[in-house]
Structure 1
Amino acid sequence: MAWIVRGEFRKLWIGQLVSASGSAVTTVALPLVAVVNLQASAVEMGALSALTIAPHLVFGLLAGVWVDRWSRRRVLIRTDIGRLLLLGSVPVAAAAGVLRIEQLYAVAVLTGVLTLLSDTASQTMIPVLVPRDDLMRANSAALLNINLASTLGPSVAGFLVQVLTAPFAIVIDAASYVVSAIASYLIREPARAPAPERSEVRLSAGLRVLFGDRVLQPLVISAGIAAMTGAMQAPLTVLYLIRDLHKSPAFVGLSLTTFGAAAVAGTLVAGAWCRRVGIGRSYLSGVLLASVSGVAFATGSTPVILAGQVCAGLGMSLFGVPQRTLRQALAPTHLLGQVTASWRTLVIGGQTIGAATSGVVATAVGIRPTLLLATGGMLAGLLVAVLSPLRTLRDVPDREPAGDR
């Protein structure tokens, strides 16, 4: 995979790796600022968490329209600068003794909007910077950034918070956007076709592409179902491990690290696996592997739980790389932003619903049955893909994207 990180894509890859690593620090540090420095209540913590996700649901479709009309390179630069200023305001306010929970709310919302735009722009820029035949390798490299950051970031964040205190640990994230902005500034973005007239722009354009393509339609339905039901597990696993299984906090950390390490390993082999079994079956095998974690947790066995985390981490990469690649290859070039944003809105929206309902379901039937129900839901998403053309799809279809014909 390393050889694909070259040319203009290398600049994008470096910038996104640095900013993702910084963001992983803030993911831990910002809630700690609320808890430690502002003594936030459970309601305030819930609001802070919700406001972080809300931009993806409220502005997701709009973000796609904006990215398709603007220079992606400028979007990356401006969103980096915006996040630098927003996050930098937290340690400044803390040092001045004027930090309030309302400021954290504003930072969470505004950085969420900028991150939405940045992520949409970076994903839609990949097929512009690399040849079609290299899309899978490029997506593996891009997903490696996310997995490395999410695996190492929390540990680094904990150390920085211990040494610097939470508000000043956020300085690291703010500084990361300086590097990312410089890397984005150096990208030579290829010329693009003129944006469509405003009268021709529809918020539903991305959705029409996703649901109008014989490959993308089952893919988005399958991914949406799997994301929604899979997200039911995340809020419950720590509670289940500690309260029901009486595991130590160290074991919780070990299980999360095991998942992250497996996800990193998965990105390194995803391209080769796609070529060996076919891009469609790589997606199917990834969802299947990811779904077993709920059953593994339900057994209560330490070795089985850790094995389940290995499977889930590998699975996330094995289905993540092909679904990104198919979306980028089959979406119309002039609608890449809207298709990407529509996908993220549906999938993140599904995750939000799953996470929000997990507590209600667990209260009604118990945590262990809820974990098993989540596995059943992910397998239902897998079944949608199995009964579709994805089952026999070996390579990215060699045709023009829908809507470009």
Structure 2
Amino acid sequence: MGASVGQTSGPDPSSAREKRDGLPTQFKVVLAGESLSLLGAQISTVMIPLIAVLALHADELILGILSAISWFPIVIFGLFAGTIIDRSSRWLIMAICNIVRAALISVIPILAVSNTLNLSALLLVAFGVGICNVFFDIAYQTYVPELVAADALGKANSGLEFFRSAAQLIGPLMGGLLATIYRPEFVVSITSITFLIAFSALLVLPSRFRVRPVNSDSMIGHKRISFITELRTGLSLVWKSSQIRLVVLAGAMVNIFAAGVSALFVLFVTRSLGLDSSVFGITVAVAGIGALVGALTFRCWANFFHEGTCVAVGLLSTGLGTVLVALAVFSNRPMVCLTVGQLFVGYGSPVMNISLVTLRQRLTPLALLGRVNASARVAIMSSLPLGALLVSGLAEATSTTTAIWVSAVGELAVLLILGPFLLRIKANEPTS
């Protein structure tokens, strides 16, 4: 891919700034809006469970269902979302998602004022927001190559991952703090405001960045390709391209073990190690700090290595981090092992994620990118609930410590098996 779609060859008042940082102004506008959307989404992930517990007195089953709703939409709607996005303006999809999310969240305080808020309504709102998140995330990943030249994709994605990591750190803290000050069913209105501001940021973009790409492949001559055919084309490219298939497989495999560690981490800290619950909170925050550092330093790796090698670096950091976490059982200073381990785990995640997204964007023709992104996200995200169930089942049959060790070995095994192949990837040209 060469210059981004819609860029002109004439002088641009912001060209001097763009030469310095390699990112065009239109991308920075979209990034600002996406950052607010991420912050709003993270606040809502804390607020909605708090509303269920504090306002609606939900039990463990309801909380489990609320948690599952966060990943169900990508499994159910992911493939269809990719095909719809390839047929539409990415800008329009993102704008609609922000408006709909703002409207859905605003339903909660409206029902609370009228004393008609109930668990069914909360579940429906959470599910609706989850669907919008699926469309927005895929549209955004597909939209970036329209705004940014191919040689700046890594930098653009690292910027997004930095703000994503910051939102994952700040959003829950902000949501938890605000919920202690006032009733969460009303404080959640802040989330609607962030989505509306994100929508306003998209309105700043010139009209040439709001249209559907001209190189869409949904027409052959004067005949439109069917929706199902387009969907199968995206799946086929993921399967037939050895490089894209390898990228998706690496993300899915490591997620199986990472999801298991995430599900068991609180039990490992409080029961297996006998530490205070505050230690759990501290070590989770440390992982967030590691993620921020990983997003900031990704370009240092990318300046010397191809994205395939960077995926291997992320896998290595995550695997070593999980080993350090597991070693806390044998350490006289378990807090040190947990802290350093979580720092490595947090660091490796954005390095790997940025590399995976950038590889897909560089390897995939723009006309197919929505479907490929969707197919990849379905495969990778579907492994999360699978991993949580498998590793938790292993912990039930053996022990939490054993399951953590198995996960650590599993993550390193993914690196040893797939690492040599990842090192060979050179994403210079899109897959044909």
Q: Same fold (TM over 0.5)?
A: yes
Unpaired segments ≥5 residues, structure 2: 1-17, 219-223, 329-333
- How far residue 230 of structure 1 moved from its aligned partner, in angstroms, is 1.2
Q: Are 2:327 and 1:286 aligned? A: no
C-alpha distance in 1 between matches for 2:245 and 2:256: 17
- TM-superposed CA distance for 1:235, in Å, is 1.0
- Alignment partner of 2:226 out of 188, 199, 204: 199
Superposition pairs for residues 7-156 of structure 1, below 5 Å? 7-156=25-174
Q: Residue 302 of structure 1: CA displacement? A: 1.2
Q: Secondary structure at the match of 1:392?
A: coil
2:401 pairs, out of 368, 377, 394, with 368
- Matched residue, 2:252: 224
**Matched AA of 1:252:** F
Q: Measured at CA, do residues 21 and 5 of structure 1 come closer, stay the same or move farther in structure 2, by a change above 3 Å? A: farther
What residue is the counterpart of 1:305 in the other structure?
Answer: 338
Please state how far the C-alpha of 1:75 moved relative to its aligned partner.
0.4
- The alignment partner of 2:226 has SS state of helix
Q: Which is higher, the Rg of structure 1 or of structure 2?
A: 2
Q: Deviations over 1:233-282 (max 9, x none)?
A: 11110111112212122211110111111111111110121222332222
Show CA shifts across 1:256-314 (max 9, x none). Answer: 11111111111111012122233222211110111123322222221111111111111
Cα distance in 1 for partners of 2:106, 2:427 equals 45
Report the alpha carbon displacement of residue 30 of structure 1 after superposing the two structures with TM: 0.3
- Decide whether the 8 Å contact of 2:109 with 2:185 is kept in 1: yes
- How far apart, in 2, do the equivalents of 1:258 and 1:318 lie? 16
Q: CA deviation at 1:195?
A: 5.1
Unaligned runs of 5+ in 1: none
Deviation at 1:162, TM superposition (A): 0.8
Pick from 371, 377, 380 the counterpart of residue 338 of structure 1: 371
Contact 2:108–2:117 (Cα < 8 Å) also in 1: yes
Structure 1 residues 37, 4: CA separation in 2 closer, same or farther (over 3 Å shift)? farther
Which residue of the partner structure matches residue 288 of structure 2?
260
- d(CA) in 1 for partners of 2:173 and 2:292? 16
One-letter amino acid of the structure 1 residue matched with residue 408 of structure 2: T
Q: Contact between 2:86 and 2:216, CA under 8 Å: does it hold in 1? A: no
Which residue number corresponds to residue 349 of structure 1? 382
SS of the residue corresponding to residue 277 of structure 1 reads coil
Q: Match of 1:111, as an amino acid?
A: V
Q: Which of 162, 185, 191 pairs up with 1:167?
A: 185
Q: Give 1:163 deviation, angstroms.
A: 1.2
The Cα shift of 1:214 comes to 2.7
Displacement, 1:111? 0.9
Code of the residue aligned with 2:375 in structure 1: it is: S
Deviates more, 1:187-196 or 1:41-50: 187-196
CA distance in 1, matches of 2:335, 2:216: 57
Q: Is the 8 A contact 2:215 2:366 kept in 1?
A: no
Compute the displacement of 1:5 (Å).
Answer: 5.1
TM-superposed CA distance for 1:108, in Å, is: 1.3
Shift of the 159–232 alpha-carbon distance from structure 1 to 2, 3 Å rule, reads: same
Q: Distance in 2 between matches of 1:386 and 1:277?
A: 14
CA distance in 1, matches of 2:253, 2:114: 46
Which secondary structure state, in structure 2, belongs to the residue aligned with residue 181 of structure 1? helix
Q: Does residue 272 in structure 1 map to residue 304 in structure 2?
A: no
Counterpart AA for 2:299: G
- In structure 2, give the amino acid aligned to 1:98: T
1:315 CA drift (Å): 0.8
Distance 2:160 2:186 in 1: 28
- Please tell me whether residue 236 in structure 1 is matched to residue 268 in structure 2: no
User: Quick one: which amino acid aligns to residue 348 of structure 1?
Assistant: M
Contact 2:363 2:428 in 1 (8 A): no
2:187 counterpart letter in structure 1: A
Is the CA contact (8 Å cut-off) linking 1:73 and 1:185 kept in structure 2?
A: no
Alpha-carbon distance in structure 2 between the residues aligned to 1:314 and 1:210:
27
Matched, 1:386 2:416: no
Q: Deviations over 1:37-73 (max 9, x none)?
A: 1111111111121122211101110010011011111
TM-score by length of 2: 0.89
Amino acid across the alignment from 2:365: P
Kept in 2, the 8 Å contact 1:25–1:173? The answer is yes
Aligned partners of 1:73 and 1:187 also within 8 Å? no
User: Which whole-Å deviations, capped at 9, do the CAs of 1:353-372 have from their partners, x for residues lacking one?
Assistant: 11123321110011011011
Residue 213 of structure 1 corresponds to 241
How far apart are 1:164 and its partner, in Å?
2.1
Partner of 2:427: 397
Secondary structure class of the residue paired with 1:120: helix
Aligned to 1:319: 352
Q: How far apart are 1:323 and its partner, in Å?
A: 1.2
Taking structure 1 as reference, are residues 210 and 157 closer, same or farther at Cα in structure 2, changes over 3 Å only?
same
One-letter code aligned to 1:13: L
- Say which SS state the counterpart of residue 31 (structure 2) adopts: helix
Equivalent residue, structure 2, for 1:251:
279
Residues 307-343 of structure 1 show CA distances to partners (whole Å, capped at 9, x for unaligned) of 1111111111221111111100111211110111111
Distance 2:104 2:23 in 1: 30
| 2:391–2:407 Cα contact (<8 Å) kept | no
Give the letter for the 1:372 counterpart.
W
| Alignment check: 8 A CA contact 1:87 1:174 kept | yes
Range with bigger deviation, 189-198 or 365-374 = 189-198
Contact 1:132 1:329 in 2 (8 A): yes
Q: Given that residues 230 and 291 in structure 1 are in contact (C-alpha distance below 8 angstroms), is that contact kept between their aligned partners in structure 2?
A: no
Count of equivalent residues: 399
TM-align CA RMSD: 1.7
Which deviations, in whole Å up to 9, do the C-alpha atoms of 1:138-180 show, x marking residues without a partner? Answer: 0000111110000111111111111122112211111101111
Q: Percent identity?
A: 27
